[in-house]
Amino acid sequence: MDYLSHYYRKDKQPFESMSYLSVDEAETVGRALFKENPKAFCRFRKSNFPTYWTRRKKTDRWVRSEFEKKGGTPVEPYPQYLVLGTSSYISALGDDDGYAELRIPLSEFDPKEVSFTYTDCMVSRWLHEEKLHEEYYNPDIHGRVFTLPEILEVVKAHGIPNGEWETDPKKAFDFFVEAQVWSFRPLSKYIEEHNQSTDPIRTTPVNSVKI
User: In the prediction, which pLDDT does 4 show?
Assistant: 97
User: In the prediction, which pLDDT does 94 show?
Assistant: 63
User: In the prediction, which pLDDT does 208 show?
Assistant: 36
Output the 3-class SS for the chain.
Answer: CCEEEEEEECCCCCCCCHHHCCHHHHHHHHHHHHHHCCCCCHHHCCCCHHHHHHHHHHHHHHHHHHHHHCCCCCCCCCCEEEEECCCHHHHHHCCCCCEEEEEEEHHHCCHHHEEEEECCHHHHHHHHHHCCCCCCCCCCCCCCCECHHHHHHHHHHHCCCCCHHHCCHHHCCCCCEEEEECCCCCCHHHHHHHHHCCCCCCCCCCCCCCC
User: In the prediction, which pLDDT does 133 show?
Assistant: 63
pLDDT in tens, 138-177: 999 999 999 999 999 999 999 999 888 888 988 889 999 9
Domain extent listing, the chain: 3-196
Q: Is the pTM of this model over 0.95?
A: no
Contact 152/3 with Cβ under 8 angstroms?
A: no
What contacts 106, CB < 8 A, 6 or more positions away?
1, 2, 3, 4, 84, 148
Amino acid at 179: A
Residues of the chain with pLDDT under 50: 199-211
